Amino acid sequence: VLQKWVNREISNFDYLIQLNTMAGRTYNDLAQYPVFPWILQDYTSEELDLNNPAVFRDLSKPIGVVNEKNAKAVKEKYNFEDPLGIIDKFHYGTHYSNAAGVMHYLIRVEPFTTLHIQLQSGRFDCADRQFHSIPATWQALMDNPNDVKELIPEFFYFPEFLENQNGFNLGQLQISKEVVNDVILPKWANSPEDFIYKHRKALESEYVSAHLHEWIDLIFGYKQRGPAAVEALNVFY
């Protein structure tokens, strides 16, 4: 598979799906759901210019420290010693992929809607905590080193999860009183289908093809644990 990918016989998407499968990740287990990277950092421009390296996320860094400002807090957390010596040191207390995160992204689509409601003791979580906007989700990641969710494969092929086709009452945001309905898209996307098309195009772009291995090292490779993980600020609880 690696050789096929290097020779460009399979796409970046296919390569990531195969890596996830070999790592034991599967659509059948929310706790080990396939994980994909955030690949862009421009969710505000009117047009998405895939020839400009500045629109892409730095794939060599864990999502928690893509914003340089968060690195200090992350290092401080790691340097905290457990007085009882039970807990190993870590940079992040949560994970880049977990069941709640998958339900968070897929809340508008069954069976994930029902699973989310079960998780929240029989009702929808408060609107402000729900996935309601792609630009706002990215901004929250940049502002908060404790939020380290990567993406799921659906962001590259499944426009329906961005629409509230079932008309669920997801509440309204506290400050703006805006009703949470379809997911708010970046300005450069004029429909869920357009977002998926451009996002998938970005995944297969020259920039991502040249840097994807850096992210793979963090998630599936030698920077998962040990000294390389410590150096890369990539140690999880």
Q: Give the pLDDT score at 90.
A: 92
Range of the domain at 134: 1-39+52-232
- In the chain, % of residues over pLDDT 70: 100
> In this structure, what CATH number is given to the domain that contains residue 223?
1.10.1540.10
**Span 112-135, pLDDT tens digits:** 999 999 999 999 999 999 999 999
Q: What is the DSSP letter of 110?
A: T
**Span 131-171, pLDDT tens digits:** 999 999 999 999 988 889 999 999 999 999 999 999 999 99
Q: Which two structure tokens, joined as six digits, stand for 215?
A: 């992210």
Give domain status of residue 91, yes or no.
Answer: yes
Q: Give the pLDDT score at 82.
A: 80
Q: Give the pLDDT score at 127.
A: 92
Compute the average pLDDT of residues 5-24. 97
Alpha helices in the chain (DSSP H): 2-6, 12-22, 71-79, 99-105, 112-119, 134-143, 192-203, 206-219, 226-231
Angle of CA points 188, 189, 191, to nearest 5°: 160
Give domain status of residue 46, yes or no.
Answer: no
- The interaxial angle of helices 12-22 and 206-219, nearest 10 deg, is 10
**Span 89-110, pLDDT tens digits:** 999 999 999 999 999 999 999 9
Q: Give the pLDDT score at 178.
A: 92
**Span 216-233, pLDDT tens digits:** 999 999 999 999 999 999
Give domain status of residue 237, yes or no.
Answer: no
Q: Which two structure tokens, joined as six digits, stand for 110?
A: 């069954």
Q: Give the pLDDT score at 118.
A: 94
Give domain status of residue 204, yes or no.
Answer: yes
Q: Is 236 helix (H, G, I), strand (E, B) or coil?
A: strand
Compute the average pLDDT of residues 169-187. 94
Q: Which two structure tokens, joined as six digits, stand for 71?
A: 């690195």
- The answer to whether residue 87 scores a pLDDT higher than 90 is no
CA distance 73 to 65: 9
pLDDT category of residue 86 using cuts at 50, 70 and 90: confident
CA distance 152 to 136: 17
Q: In total, how many domains does the chain have?
A: 1
- The answer to whether residue 197 scores a pLDDT higher than 90 is yes
**Quick one: how far is CA 76 from the chain centroid?**
24
Q: Give the pLDDT score at 80.
A: 84
pLDDT category of residue 83 using cuts at 50, 70 and 90: confident
Give domain status of residue 10, yes or no.
Answer: yes
Give domain status of residue 225, yes or no.
Answer: yes
Summary mean pLDDT of the chain = 95
Instruction: Mark 95-123 as b/e (b = at least 16 C-beta within 10 Å).
Output: ebbbebbbbbbbbbbeebbebbbeeeeee
Give domain status of residue 7, yes or no.
Answer: yes
Q: Which amino acid is at 98?
A: N
Closest CA to 36 of 134, 152, 138, 141: 152
pLDDT category of residue 84 using cuts at 50, 70 and 90: confident
Question: ω into residue 153 within 30 of 0, thus cis?
Answer: no
Q: Give the pLDDT score at 187.
A: 97
* CA dihedral for 50, 164, 64, 43, sign (positive or negative): positive
Cβ-based neighbours of 150, under 8 Å, separated by 6 or more: 35, 36, 37, 38, 63, 96, 97, 219
